[in-house]
C-alpha cells in the first residue's frame, strides 16, 4: 500500500531534467515527454527490498541511498564519456557494481539506476526518491512490534 502511494506521488511530479533529443540504449527510465513524468524502474525492486525484506543488508538506508546514487553517477559519467554505445551500457553496470562493492553500499537495484539524463539525475529523482522511500519504510516497518527498520545505518 505504502509503495503504491509513493509510486503515485513520484509519478505525478513534473520532471525538470533536460530531455534527451533521442532515446538511447542506456536510458533506463520511461519518460512521457508531454507531461514530463519520470518513472525509475529500479524503484520497484527497491520497494520490494525495503518493505518485504527489511532485514536484508541490501535494504538498509546507507545501501539504498548511496548505492543507488553512486550507480546513477557512474551511469551518467559513462554516457558522457562514451556516448550511447554498448560499451557505455556494460561499463556503467559493471563499474556501478564495483563502486558499490568498494564503498560497502551494495544495493542490487542500484545497478539498474544508470541513465542518460544528465548530472542532476543522481540527486533528482534517484537521491530524493530513495530518501522519500526510506522515510516511508521507516514509518511503515516500525508500526508492527515484531519489525525494526533499519537494522543499522
Q: What pLDDT is recorded for position 59?
A: 96
Question: Looking at residue 41, what is its pLDDT?
Answer: 84
Average pLDDT over residues 112-132: 88
> C-alpha grid cell for residue 17?
531534467
Q: Which among 74, 58, 88 is positioned nearest to 126, based on CA atoms?
A: 74
pTM of the model: 0.76
How many Cβ atoms are within 10 Å of 92's Cβ, its own excluded? 26
**What's the rounded mean pLDDT across residues 70-91?**
93
Separation CA 99–CA 137 (nearest Å): 25
- Taking only the tens place, the pLDDT of each residue in 2-54 is 444 444 344 444 445 455 544 443 344 444 444 566 778 899 999 999 999 99
d(Cα 104, Cα 98) in Å, to the nearest integer?
10
Amino acid at each position: 500500500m505504502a509503495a503504491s502511494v509513493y509510486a503515485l506521488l513520484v509519478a505525478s511530479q513534473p520532471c525538470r531534467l533536460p530531455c534527451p533529443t533521442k532515446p538511447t540504449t542506456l536510458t533506463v527510465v520511461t519518460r512521457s515527454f508531454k507531461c514530463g513524468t519520470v518513472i525509475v524502474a529500479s524503484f520497484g525492486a527497491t520497494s520490494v527490498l525495503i518493505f518485504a525484506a527489511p532485514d536484508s543488508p541490501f535494504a538498509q538506508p546507507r545501501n539504498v541511498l548511496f548505492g543507488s546514487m553512486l550507480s546513477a553517477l557512474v551511469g551518467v559519467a559513462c554516457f558522457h564519456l562514451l556516448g550511447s554505445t554498448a560499451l557505455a551500457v556494460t561499463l556503467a553496470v559493471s563499474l556501478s557494481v564495483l563502486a558499490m562493492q568498494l564503498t560497502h553500499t551494495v544495493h542490487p537495484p542500484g545497478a539498474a539506476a544508470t541513465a542518460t539524463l544528465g548530472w542532476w539525475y543522481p540527486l533528482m529523482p534517484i537521491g530524493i526518491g530513495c530518501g522519500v522511500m526510506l522515510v516511508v519504510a521507516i514509518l511503515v516497518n516500525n508500526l508492527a512490534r515484531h519489525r525494526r527498520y533499519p537494522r543499522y545505518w
